[in-house]
Amino acid sequence: MNEATVVSELGEDGIRSLVSSFYRRVKVDNLMAPMYPNDDWDGAEDRLAKFLLFRLGVSQAYMEERGHPRLRMRHMPFAIGEAERDRWLKLMGEAMDEVETPAGSRQFLEPFFAQTADFMRNRAE
């Protein structure tokens, strides 16, 4: 499975639905919500959707607006350890369940999300 599988199975609308489902969970999560400014939920959702669409080869909008992702640098202001990584993955897994992400897409997305979430860790346990 690869990016083309995800694009074929989910398309841009499906990816945006996944991200919306994820952020509905983040907004009410006691560990994750405090990392986000209350006045920028729409912006956070838009940035993640555009990043995923960029990573999957659908759109260059993320690069045009923000440049290189520099994910680790952009997340340095937030203390991210194992608990935060694991919660992010849990909420994204629940979002994938909600939008009924097809098996082929999950086969690609789950390891991608796990690797990316682990890379974001910046706090020793």
Answer whether residue 125 is part of any domain: no
Judge contact between 122 and 76, C-beta under 8 A: yes
For residue 22, give its domain range: 3-119
Answer whether residue 28 is part of any domain: yes
Q: Containing H/E element for 23? A: helix 3-27
Answer whether residue 44 is part of any domain: yes
Question: Tokens representing 32?
Answer: 């994750």
CATH number at residue 93: 1.10.490.10
Answer whether residue 124 is part of any domain: no
Answer whether residue 89 is part of any domain: yes
The predicted model scores a pTM of 0.90
Is 60 exceeded by the pLDDT of residue 120? yes
How many domains does the chain contain in total? 1
CA-based max dimension of the chain: 39
- Mean pLDDT over the full length of the chain: 90
**pLDDT reported for residue 59:** 87
State the pLDDT confidence band at 66, using cuts at 50, 70 and 90: low
